[in-house]
Amino acid sequence: MAKKPKSATESAKVPSVLAFNRKIEPSDALMQAGLWSNRDQVSTWKNIDLHQKRNRGTKSQYGVPDAEKTDPNLVWGDDARLPFDADTLKVFFTVKFLGNIAEPTTHNRPEFENKLNEKFQEYSEKIGFLTLAQRYIYNLVNARFLWRNRLGAEKISIQIKNSETGKIWNFEDAYQFGLNTFNSIQDSQLMEIANLVSNSFKEDHYLLLEVTAFAKVGEGQHVFPSQEMVMDPPKGQKSKYLYEIKTKEGFCAGIHSEKIGNAIRTIDNWYVNETNDLKPAIAIEPYGSVPNRGRAYRTKQTDFYTLLINWLEGKEIFEDDQHFIVANLIRGGVFGGND
């Protein structure tokens, strides 16, 4: 007896086994020190070293017993600063953009992949990847990836280089590009790079960009590498460990690739915000999760899975929601659910 064909609803079910590779792959970032006036002189930039600091602090957390409020608190951890003969932080990393976005790494329901490819092809032809590409590049030229290092810098410039062709684009003022809006997205240089990214998504063309940021923060000033997560450090031991990368010149303070990637994909301001009109951009996540705010912004029928199923079933969904779905596929991850 011939097998009964799967219905559209069955084809749209999320497989119990489903995963996608990331299509935006950043490297870790190196942090170096030098002078703002020497930005073009590669040999003058030196790795930033980590050093340990031990200080006597106070116990200021909520709920400290009265008897302990005057007790000293040992603060022992890694620290990073510019030397006093340098006024500028240089951050360098590479980022790769890849295609085959709708092709799962693994899955256990072929009819789901067929339906996804059908809808994805429709998105590619009718809407296209340029909106997403523009937003990803926007988060490079606004220096979002500097995180805390972006705050308080006197000025920040960005250089982006195409590793294949050698072409370089310079953005002299990263502050011209805001963090929560995408108003300056028509910048001609930004658009040129975004078109390359869009083509890499559509045609599976290998694209590797080299990104360099210069942030003038002042001589001897504090800089902020990534912090390593250490669960339950031994009492009386160092409690803060910063990230460092081994280079041929020695160890260098660094920023995690995951933190760079999170900054690049912070493009979601399409979610519904019921509290006020200001909608800060958040990173692309299936449930719009922002752990440091203790919130998930996409839990009421606007999460990735609900929108994906509706999309595959042929229901009408907004163009912004389609961008959100495709951006999650670009993000990659393990998405399998209950059969």
Please check whether residue 106 lies inside any domain of the structure: yes
Tens place of pLDDT for every residue, the chain, 339 residues? 444 445 555 666 888 899 999 999 999 999 999 999 999 998 899 999 998 887 777 778 888 887 777 777 777 888 999 999 999 999 999 999 999 999 999 988 889 999 999 999 999 999 999 999 999 999 999 999 999 999 989 999 999 999 999 999 999 999 999 898 887 677 999 999 999 999 999 988 889 999 999 999 999 999 999 999 887 767 767 778 899 999 999 999 999 999 999 999 999 999 987 665 668 899 999 999 999 889 999 988 999 999 999 999 999 999 999 999 999 999 999 998 765
Number of domains making up the chain: 1
Dihedral sign from CA coordinates of 121, 123, 125, 129: negative
Please check whether residue 3 lies inside any domain of the structure: no
Backbone angles phi, psi at 25, to 5 degrees: -120, 95
What is the four-CA torsion angle of 151, 156, 161, 167, rounded to 10 degrees? 160
The one-letter amino acid code at 138 reads: Y
> Which two three-digit tokens encode residue 21?
């590779």
Domain holding 127, by residue range, is: 8-334
Report how far residue 92's alpha carbon sits from residue 39's, in angstroms, rounded to the nearest whole number: 12
Please check whether residue 313 lies inside any domain of the structure: yes
Please check whether residue 151 lies inside any domain of the structure: yes
Please check whether residue 2 lies inside any domain of the structure: no
Backbone angles phi, psi at 134, to 5 degrees: -60, -45
